[in-house]
């Protein structure tokens, strides 16, 4: 990143990001792991069902607070100024029946010269964020073409599909873990020979996910990469079908 002139992060910003990340890990990660271990311990043979329900609720909770609470700790979000671009974005959203409520500009330039745009929000409260680098590097009609791509992901249900897949993945992984959780043979293979002393749950989780589940995870990751590429091509085609082919090409090449 630095070699090619993309990295704009200062040592001070790097350090403060690390500190904030560590604090957030303690605030959210610590209680999450503690509750997860408690559920596994108290859930009986069907603990994977309770674990799945817990991770589902936690995922929705994090999806709700990350854009409005956590991300503003790292970047500044300002309303997109009034003007032609704002009007055109709302017009595009209206054409596609995208329930856009707010438009923001994010100061991504303080970390990188890369440009991007993304959406967040549930149901009828959708928001779009544009990187300030995107607005500096491309023209307004190219921004609209890029947003056509992003809105294509929403229109074709890619975001919901990926969320469902992630939940199925979590459920499947913990179900498989439940099949191995009480396997003394597994633990003996790693040197835990004393069956009178139960293996700590956190150790059991690490052994399972780093050994037994790891090759399965690699295979699934490859499949998801193929699926992700398929979604990207479909989103590109969606923007092209909106009549933005040339502007999408020129915008993505900058």
Catalytic residue, from 87, 132, 185, 236: name it.
Answer: 236
Residues in contact with 222: Cβ distance below 8 Å, sequence separation at least 6, in sequence order: none
Marked catalytic residue, from 17, 78, 82, 150:
150
The question of whether 236 is a catalytic residue gets the answer yes
DSSP-based three-state secondary structure for 231: helix
Catalytic residue list contains 141:
no
CA dihedral 158, 160, 162, 168 (to 10 degrees): -150
Q: Pull the structure tokens for residue 30.
A: 């610590």
| Neighbouring residues of 45: CB distance < 8 A, sequence distance ≥ 6 | 178
Of the candidates 232, 244, 234, the residue with the CA atom closest to the CA atom of residue 88 = 244
- Tell me the C-alpha to C-alpha distance, in Å, between residue 36 and each of 42, 63, 202: 10, 19, 10
Q: Which residues are catalytic, by number? A: 150, 236
């Amino acid at each position: 990143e630095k070699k090619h002139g993309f990295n704009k992060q200062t040592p001070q910003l790097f350090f403060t990001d690390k500190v904030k990340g560590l604090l957030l890990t303690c605030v959210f990660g610590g209680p999450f792991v503690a509750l997860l271990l408690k559920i596994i311990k108290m859930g009986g043979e069907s603990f994977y069902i309770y674990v799945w329900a817990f991770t589902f609720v936690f995922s929705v909770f994090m999806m709700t607070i990350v854009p409005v609470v956590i991300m503003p700790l790292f970047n500044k979000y300002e309303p997109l100024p009034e003007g032609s671009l704002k009007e055109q974005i709302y017009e595009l959203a209206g054409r596609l029946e995208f329930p856009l409520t707010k438009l923001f500009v994010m100061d991504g330039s303080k970390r990188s010269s890369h440009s991007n745009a993304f959406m967040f929000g549930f149901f009828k409260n959708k928001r779009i964020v544009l990187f300030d680098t995107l607005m500096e590097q491309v023209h307004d009609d190219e921004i609209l073409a890029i947003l056509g791509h992003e809105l294509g992901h929403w229109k074709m249900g890619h975001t919901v599909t990926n969320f469902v897949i992630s939940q199925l993945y979590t459920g499947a992984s913990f179900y498989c873990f439940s099949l191995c959780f009480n396997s003394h043979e597994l633990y003996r293979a790693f040197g835990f020979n004393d069956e009178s002393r139960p293996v700590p749950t956190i150790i059991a989780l690490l052994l399972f996910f780093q050994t037994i589940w790891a090759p399965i995870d690699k295979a699934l990751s490859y499949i998801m990469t193929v699926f992700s590429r398929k979604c990207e091509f479909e989103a590109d085609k969606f923007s092209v079908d909106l009549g933005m082919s040339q502007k999408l090409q020129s915008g993505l090449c900058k």
